[in-house]
Amino acid sequence: MIDLIMRILVYGAVSGGIWALAASGFSLIFGIGRILNFAHGTFFVLSAYICFILAKDLGVNLFISYIIAILLVGALGVVVYKIMMAPVRHHEVMVIIVTLAFALLVEQILLLLFGEHGYSIPSFVSGSMEIGGVLIPKTRILAFFVSIAVIILLEYFINRTRTGKMISAVSQDSEAAMLVGMDVEKLFMITMFVSASLAGIGGLLFGQVFGASPIFAVKSLIYAFAIVILGGLGSVRGSIIASFIVGYIITTTIILLGSRWAEFVMLITIISILIFRPTGLFGVEE
Amino acid sequence: MVKDIRYLSLGILLIVSLTLPFFLPDAYVYLVGMTFLFIIMVVSWDIIVGYTGQVNLGHTVFVGIGAYTTALLQVPSRFEGTFLHFLSAIPSPPIYISIIMGGVVSAFFGFIIGVITLRLRGYYFALVTAVLPLVFIQLLYVWSDIFGGEEGFSVGLERALAVDSIGKYYIAFFTMVLSVLIMYLIVRSSIGYKFRAIRDDETLAESVGIDTVKYKVLSFVISSFFAGIAGACVVHYRITVGPSMFDIPLMLLIILSAVIGGLGTLFGPIIGGFVIYLMKNWWLKGMVGLSDVVPINDEVILYIILIVVAILAPEGIWVYSRKIIEKLPIKFLKKAKTT
């Protein structure tokens, strides 16, 4: 019993950390541009595949592969924004349709190239260590600490740096930000880069712990939705806190009921939040 | 003039549709019949998305609910030995009643989801409906005793819409005409104007006294009802039911048809549905496995088309081409426009 609780505690924290990276990026771009980016999960999966190709097939140094994967995915985010989102940004139905179509397109191409089974990407660490009587794989511990570090960096970036403050300003009122002379379009692109790279880091951590498969381009979106709704749409800090709550819900569900119930429990979670507290924990009124 | 073209093309479509089975091979008659049922799905999606402006990404779930409702009503023995054993004693109704029941049950689920998500403004509806298809498919696998899992199950040859493809074709055709006509009358009524008012400016609609939540939910219920009817008809058309019929590729086809036809135009999606469904099942089939090097299949092509159309012509090809025609310096066209 103690064993089970410990496992839920540790595994939940790890998955919470990974989802915090994915969801905060999703929240960031929604907050600044009211853009619902359904292609967000694509960046999550793509970074894992890019890293896999670089490290396994091309024999690139592991650390460099990780960095290249993150940067490439961030750049892809900017390209996707420029080509697909910016032209239809005023048409919110189309933003959703285009980004969803892109996500499904990439999923389909990955399926054709790699098949539907998962690929585990190589990690810096191997083996496992004992915490409180439970054997924990070292990859999970690494994932946890990396995600915490990235979250702290993100908090620093948004609240302390000039660019971060400008992003917050645009989130609050983009027209006013434009009036005081901010280059809103450029800030959108920076945000998109950060958002996609965050998803990319999340994907790399996820890929080395659980393995990456194309289905996660869409599946990871569900977790991100649940998190941002619980945290409040557009609130980055809310998403981070909500990620750990959702991480524990997912882990408990998977350990006690089995992974096939994960999506169903997520839906129930989303619906109950919408019934009892639609603005989420830290939501801003639309 | 534009109106004339519309009626003319509809008239031609009607005559062609009615005479088609006389000179088309049986397999194609079957396919075109399926296309009619698909058109119901596209038009009903247009009601909630195109007319009311609420992005529904889970339309196929309501198609699926209608399908499984009628299938289980016809084959109640599926419940035997499960926790829903008591349901297996229900006598199965005639198929037309059970098709309508499919629509009603779909509408009921639409009502529940709608009441929870549509009372909130903004993006909650899109987010929740996006989650629905994955949950729905997952549940079909979890309770595979009842729903038949991946293979689904057959409702039996004697419960088909008609004995041969031509009979099925005409039943599908008239179901489509009836459904589209009802939806047309709804969007042309004062209810339809309220839907559009909500789509264009929700705050303004509310301030002129429209109960926006009520009409959004109503729109979603109507949309889900016809989705359910279409799904139920498909079951009796194909005699089988299974999850692959309601998966994400179908959602893509629905979205693509409506977007190409033009959201919120009703007639656009009919044409779009007709062209896209036939294209996917008739012409694109031959392109699968075209090349071993380039990762391409029919779905990839359709996704690319969708992205390109959505970016270049977000109002639909119909409106887009009309705009281009209006820009052309042709005298008689301009003249015709003013009259």
Is 80 exceeded by the pLDDT of residue B324?
no
Is 50 exceeded by the pLDDT of residue B273?
yes
What's the pLDDT score for residue B2? Answer: 60
What's the pLDDT score for residue B233? Answer: 93
Mean pLDDT on B269-274 = 89
Name the percent of chain A lying above pLDDT 70: 98
d(CA B75, CA B59) in angstroms, rounded, equals 25
Mean pLDDT on A34-39 = 88
Decide: pTM greater than 0.90: no
Chain A residues in contact with B311 (beta carbon < 8 A): 83-84, 87-88, 94, 98
pLDDT range class, residue B265, cuts 50, 70, 90 = confident
DSSP secondary structure string for all residues of A258-274: -GGGHHHHHHHHHHHHH
pLDDT in tens, B166-177: 888 999 999 999
Where do the domains of chain A lie?
Answer: 21-215
Mean pLDDT computed over every residue of chain B: 85
Contact A109, A197 (CB under 8 A): no
Q: Which domains does chain B have, with CATH numbers?
A: 2-338 (1.10.3470)
Q: Calculate how close chain B gets to A116, using CA atoms only, in Å.
A: 14
Lowest-pLDDT range, A154-168, B62-76, B146-160? B146-160
Cα angle, residue A217 at apex, residues B114 and B129 outer, rounded to 5° = 5
Lowest-pLDDT range, A39-43, A183-187, B23-27, B71-75? B23-27
A73: amino acid identity, one letter: V
Both structure tokens of A123 = 């990690």
d(CA B160, CA B174) in angstroms, rounded, equals 16
* In the block, residue with structure tokens 């459904």: B179
CB pairs under 8 A between A and B: 110
Q: Calculate how close chain A gets to B131, using CA atoms only, in Å.
A: 6
CB contact under 8 A, B252 and A112: no
Q: What element of type H or E holds A134?
A: strand A134-137
What's the pLDDT score for residue B339? Answer: 43
pLDDT range class, residue B36, cuts 50, 70, 90 = very high
Q: Pick from B303, B308, B309, B315 the residue to mutate for testing the A interface (most A CBs within 10 Å).
A: B303
Q: Write down the ipTM of this complex.
A: 0.86
Provide the 8-state DSSP code for A149.
H
Identify which of B123, B248, B295 has the shortest CB distance to residue A233: B123
Q: Which of A115-119, B76-80, B108-112, B122-126 has the highest mean pLDDT?
A: B108-112
Question: pLDDT: is B207 or B334 the higher one?
Answer: B207
A267 touches chain B (CB under 8 A): yes
d(CA A91, CA B199) in angstroms, rounded, equals 12
Identify which of A93, A225, A266 has the shortest CB distance to residue B55: A93
pLDDT range class, residue A286, cuts 50, 70, 90 = very low
- Residues in chain B whose Cβ is within 8 Å of chain A: 49, 53, 55, 57, 116-117, 120-124, 126-128, 130-132, 134-135, 138-139, 141-142, 248, 252, 255, 259, 263, 295-297, 299-300, 303-304, 306-307, 310-311, 314
CB contact under 8 A, A225 and B252: no
